[in-house]
Amino acid sequence: MPIIVGQDTSSTRKTLEVNGKTYAYYSIPAAEAAGLGTFSNLPAALKVVLENMLRFEDGKTVSVDDVKAFSDWGKNGGKGDRELAYRPARVLMQDFTGVPAVVDLAAMRDGIKALGGDAQKINPLNPVDLVIDHSVMIDEFGNPRAFQMNVDREYERNIERYEFLKWGQSAFNNFRVVPPGTGICHQVNLEYLAQTVWTDTDQDGAEVAYPDTLVGTDSHTTMVNGAAVLGWGVGGIEAEAAMLGQPISMLIPEVVGFKLTGEMVEGTTGTDLVLKVVEMLREKGVVGKFVEFYGSGLDNLPLAQRATIANMAPEYGATCGFFPIDAETIRYLEQTGRDKDRIALVEAYAKENGMWRTADYDPIYTDTLELDMGTIVPAISGPKRPQDYIALDGAGPAFSKFVEGLRSGKDASESSEARWEAEGGAPEPVDVPGDKGHHKKGWYKTEDGAYQLHDGSIVIASITSCTNTSNPYVMIGAGLVARKARELGLNRKPWVKTSLAPGSQVVSDYLEAADLQKDLDAIGFNLVGYGCTTCIGNSGPLDAPISKAINDYDLIATAVLSGNRNFEGRISPDVRANYLASPPLVVAYALVGDMNVNIATDPIGTDKDGNDVYLKDIWPSNAEIAELVEKTVTRESFQSKYADVFKGDEKWQAVEVNGGETYDWPATSTYVQNPPYFQGMSKDPGVITNIEGAKVLALLGDMITTDHISPAGSFKESTPAGQYLIERQVPVREFNSYGSRRGNHEVMMRGTFANIRIKNEMLDGVEGGYTKGPDGKQTSIYEASMAYQDQGTPLVIFGGEQYGAGSSRDWAAKGTALLGVKAVIAESFERIHRSNLVGMGVIPFEFTGGDTRKTLGLTGEETVSITGLDSIRPLAEVPCEITFADGSTKTITLKCRIDTAIEKEYVEHGGVLHYVLRDLARA
């Protein structure tokens, strides 16, 4: 289908000839010459949005005033409040979020037929790529058969989902699937799918060039901004609307300029840099803003390291972290095997349209901050949040202080010898570095003997995630650390579960070419799969004796991973403290096996001759790394590995496809079920009604992440989701994970607010998905919700600051809606989750006037009524009456976070997909 461009901007439409080919494009300098405003001093990231307005300006959805607003933004010091209708070029999905999106599309086909419409109207209008990367789990590790065994188990667990996705690929236009075992979606996007400048044919048959842009159903879609591709994560709900032709409603964003100067010093990595950037930007406060990186330091920053910084935009809270097009962008496109004509077009287009970064690039920004990269030191981040930055030389003491805080007031010296009496007594305790009497200790046995575990024992060390495995400098660095350690006779500690899960097959290619994979294998970092694995909670089970020891002795076990997320309960149910680190440091920590060791200064082991070995003894020089990267990371490797990217292996090719225009929903499937959203839907929208007599389902604290609201990892038999599967004869071994079952609303609504570490303040000291039911007794959140819904009682959630931080997880909003929650009242919201709530018809509200759940003394026993909704305006303030348990009342003012007029319409329709479905049925 050709792209449809605007008709009223002919004065800005120009042509560009590159390598003998002619392209039409929409010129920002021409818009300036036409008197539409001053645009040359805008940040490159904002020029991408401006070009989108020029291309789609039709006098209706996009007007000339929308274009002029960008000039006003510059005159007002980088501030503006105009609402825009923005249309990204394409959509990117992964399978955890993609399966429910395709489920919704399939359900919409059923729904539009029920409304008398044409099922073929439910088709993506924009290109959609879905990369299967979230399903591989680390069951097997540390041996040569790990990869194949994990792949085999992946297909066993997920065949229903894969059959469904292959049906979707055949049933829908503009929809491609990248099969399992290829790589992580963001790395595949960066290395292959992204073009920096996109081209397509318009309705007149002309080839049009324009900036490559996208939205994705994963928060780390931002990674591709490192290649000057403007993109960010949205919920699956918003992405579905975008692929069906709905514009993304957004305000002209503020753009914070982050000036980088200097260059990285010996012994530091791109990971160390990004962890400092995350800390600085979280402290600055950039939620809902663009961040653009500029300055002379970019001349010393390879694109792979830019992508690492762009990747972690969700962790520093920004919509995106953008890097303008420059010579390094062109070098990367060349290295990764892009078409020569495309590379020439990118350079010519960027220079012609004012998007090329020159030495004097210094645009207007809303605000700025600066970092000299020469000041960066080795670092990690944790134990619970990505912004919890710790310089490496203070990591050991910081962990000991963390343990002291957790153990404060508890008996940490509990004797465990009694548990061993029947077996002849426990071994003598081993000293724990930094212990001041706060650390607990325990033992486990294997055929090789007994080992002590204690608070701080590292039980997972994983090189994984798009964040770092996309960067050959840190991956080659990890291989060199492994080589040097192996030469000295060091090995991983026996209690450490080690794994290597690269983000693309290219990584394996250059590790093999550098002869480093055998060194990684020797210390346990065998290939386990190409996927997100540990970073999303697919770390797989720990060995049973280790898991038992951790739980029997109530130990604070730790994990170290090269990922981007370390929220509570995310990585493993057995692990309480999680640290983000560069791949070389992950290898080093596996050798140490203990977070209490101050790895920067203390010995990390002994060599074959009994001499102490320090981190500096196994750390490669920057020159060593650069030499191997130059030699082994080649254009030919990228071209070879991506030649048949959509074909897949024999297993994928053997997956059967069933169904035609509409999906034949299998009644017995526990993975894919027809959701209830569109069943019995009327042709006309409703109205927004006041919330009367609502009860509190949960009273939550600060930084409640989407992982807390809708966990992605494993779950137990005793949970509501586990009981649902047991009732359907699914054995515990086949439970898989919440993430893999996102195509089944029955599982997912039972898993909403079910994170094992979530704390509902209605209950004293209880962790997990519990609340009080209508009878005042403790029960699961799911069961309480069902009881309240049976009574016809609406529900609300109270929260603190940064509610909904983390992943762009649509089920965090879908599950909230299906539990009967009508409103979420918090101190502040993260961008994506707020949008997702609106997209599901749940209204977000923010406290005003200094009110919080604490200042109000809320206990969860209150009844809540919110009025003024029947005539609500975007961002309006409304009264909320709270009736306390003793009968007293207090009226407070809430700010309604329905931000735009179109969002109001979404809520009136019951959600954005209902809005789209009715619109298409009428057409």
The rounded distance, in Å, linking the Cα atoms of 834 and 828 is 9
Phi-psi region of 860 (alpha: psi -120 to 50; beta: other; left: phi over 0): left
Q: Interhelix angle for 236-243 vs 912-922, to 10°? A: 20
The residues near 134 (Cβ < 8 Å, ≥ 6 apart) are 94, 95, 96, 531, 532, 536, 538, 712, 739, 740
Of 111, 245, 248, whose CA–CA distance to 917 is shortest?
111
Q: What pLDDT does residue 714 have?
A: 84
Q: Does residue 349 sit in the same domain as residue 391? A: no
Instruction: Give the domain-ending residue among 351, 373, 395.
Output: 373
Flag whether pLDDT at 7 surpasses 50: no
Q: What pLDDT does residue 448 have?
A: 78
62 within domain boundaries:
no
Classify 92 as helix, strand or coil.
strand
Instruction: Give just the sign of the alpha carbon dihedral 720, 725, 729, 730.
Output: negative
Flag whether pLDDT at 322 surpasses 50: yes
653 within domain boundaries:
no
Edge-to-edge strands of the sheet including 213-216?
A: 175-178, 128-131, 90-94, 213-216, 230-233
499 within domain boundaries:
yes
The rounded distance, in Å, linking the Cα atoms of 67 and 591 is 57
Q: Does residue 338 sit in the same domain as residue 437? A: no
Alpha carbons within 13 A on the beta-carbon side of 166: 19
Q: Does residue 353 sit in the same domain as residue 423? A: no
Mean pLDDT for 893-911 is 93
The rounded distance, in Å, linking the Cα atoms of 59 and 6 is 8
Confidence at 430, pLDDT banded by 50, 70, 90? confident
The rounded distance, in Å, linking the Cα atoms of 165 and 167 is 5
Q: Does residue 242 sit in the same domain as residue 147? A: yes
Q: Does residue 385 sit in the same domain as residue 362? A: no
Ramachandran angles phi, psi of 816, nearest 5°: -60, -45
Q: How many CB atoms lie within 10 A of CB 274?
A: 31
Give the highest mean pLDDT range of 69-73, 129-133, 661-665, 738-742.
69-73
Q: How do residues 479-491 score in pLDDT, each as one tens digit? A: 999 999 999 999 9
The rounded distance, in Å, linking the Cα atoms of 551 and 716 is 15
CATH number of the domain within which 585 lies: 3.30.499.10
* E-only strand ranges, 819-874: 821-826, 843-847, 863-866
Where is average pLDDT lowest: 451-465, 563-577, 700-714? Answer: 563-577
Q: Tokens at residue 675, please?
A: 């959701």
The rounded distance, in Å, linking the Cα atoms of 852 and 828 is 10
Q: Does residue 797 sit in the same domain as residue 875? A: yes
582 within domain boundaries:
yes
Q: What pLDDT does residue 249 have?
A: 83
Q: How do residues 542-583 score in pLDDT, each as one tens digit? A: 999 999 999 999 999 999 999 887 777 788 889 999 999 999
Q: What pLDDT does residue 421 have?
A: 52
Flag whether pLDDT at 718 surpasses 80: yes
Distances, alpha carbon 187 to alpha carbons 91, 221, 321, 504, in Å: 15, 10, 16, 7
Q: What pLDDT does residue 863 have?
A: 98
The rounded distance, in Å, linking the Cα atoms of 156 and 172 is 26
Mean pLDDT for 682-702 is 94
DSSP 829: B
Confidence at 3, pLDDT banded by 50, 70, 90? low
Burial of 689 (0-12, 13-18, 19+ CB in 10 A): exposed
DSSP-derived secondary structure for 760-771: -TTSSS-BSSEE
611 within domain boundaries:
yes
Instruction: Give the domain-ending residue among 345, 373, 401.
Output: 373
Confidence at 417, pLDDT banded by 50, 70, 90? very low
Taking the alpha carbons at both ends of the chain, their separation in whole angstroms is 18
The rounded distance, in Å, linking the Cα atoms of 168 and 765 is 45
DSSP 361: -
Q: Which residues, listed in sequence order, are joined to residue 208 by a DSSP beta bridge?
A: 24, 200
Confidence at 465, pLDDT banded by 50, 70, 90? confident
CA 154 to chain centre: 21
Flag whether pLDDT at 241 surpasses 90: no
- Cβ 505 vs Cβ 530: under 8 Å: yes
Q: How do residues 67-126 score in pLDDT, each as one tens digit? A: 999 999 999 999 998 889 999 999 999 988 888 889 999 999 999 999 989 999 999 989
Q: What pLDDT does residue 409 have?
A: 61
Q: What percent of the chain is modeled with pLDDT above 70?
A: 97
Instruction: Provide Rg for the chain, Cα atoms.
Output: 27
Instruction: Give the domain-ending residue among 313, 344, 373.
Output: 373
**Cα–Cα–Cα angle for 905, 841, 884, nearest 5°?**
120
Q: How do residues 724-759 score in pLDDT, each as one tens digit? A: 999 999 999 889 889 889 999 999 999 999 998 899
* Helical spans, DSSP H, in 666-732: 706-709, 720-727
Confidence at 410, pLDDT banded by 50, 70, 90? low
| Average model confidence (pLDDT) across the chain | 92
DSSP 23: E
Question: Position 675: which residue type?
Answer: P
Of 581, 503, 566, whose CA–CA distance to 186 is shortest?
503
Q: How do residues 388-402 score in pLDDT, each as one tens digit? A: 999 999 999 999 999
Q: What pLDDT does residue 79 have?
A: 93
Q: How do residues 18-49 score in pLDDT, each as one tens digit? A: 999 999 999 999 999 999 999 999 999 999 99
- Cβ 824 vs Cβ 836: under 8 Å: no
CA 829 to chain centre: 16
Q: What pLDDT does residue 423 have?
A: 52
Question: Position 550: which residue type?
Answer: I
**Cα–Cα–Cα angle for 747, 752, 758, nearest 5°?**
135
CATH number of the domain within which 747 lies: 3.20.19.10
Ramachandran angles phi, psi of 230, nearest 5°: -75, 115
Which H/E stretch holds residue 833? helix 831-839
666 within domain boundaries:
no
Which H/E stretch holds residue 321? strand 320-322
Q: How do residues 773-825 score in pLDDT, each as one tens digit? A: 999 999 999 999 999 999 999 999 999 999 998 777 889 999 999 999 999 99
Of 184, 193, 191, whose CA–CA distance to 129 is shortest?
193
Q: Does residue 383 sit in the same domain as residue 366? A: no
The rounded distance, in Å, linking the Cα atoms of 316 and 322 is 13
Flag whether pLDDT at 709 surpasses 80: yes
Q: Does residue 136 sit in the same domain as residue 270? A: yes
Global pTM value = 0.85
For 865-890, the three-class secondary structure string (H helix, E strand, C coil) is EECCHHHCCCCCEEEEEEECCCCCEE
Of 234, 105, 76, whose CA–CA distance to 172 is shortest?
105
Distances, alpha carbon 858 to alpha carbons 761, 803, 895, in Å: 9, 17, 19
Number of domains forming the structure of the chain: 3
Q: Does residue 343 sit in the same domain as residue 391? A: no
Q: Does residue 459 sit in the same domain as residue 329? A: no
Of 413, 394, 743, 420, whose CA–CA distance to 598 is shortest?
394
Ramachandran angles phi, psi of 351, nearest 5°: -70, -40
Q: Tokens at residue 527, please?
A: 């290939």
110 within domain boundaries:
yes
Alpha carbons within 13 A on the beta-carbon side of 795: 28
Mean pLDDT for 176-188 is 93
Classify 232 as helix, strand or coil.
strand
- Cβ 244 vs Cβ 124: under 8 Å: yes
Of 564, 377, 538, 560, whose CA–CA distance to 469 is shortest?
564
Q: What pLDDT does residue 896 have?
A: 97
Ramachandran angles phi, psi of 702, nearest 5°: -80, 160
12 within domain boundaries:
no
Q: What pLDDT does residue 469 have?
A: 85
What is the extent of the structural domain holding 192?
A: 90-373
Q: Does residue 249 sit in the same domain as residue 321? A: yes
Q: Does residue 401 sit in the same domain as residue 305? A: no
Q: What pLDDT does residue 736 have?
A: 83
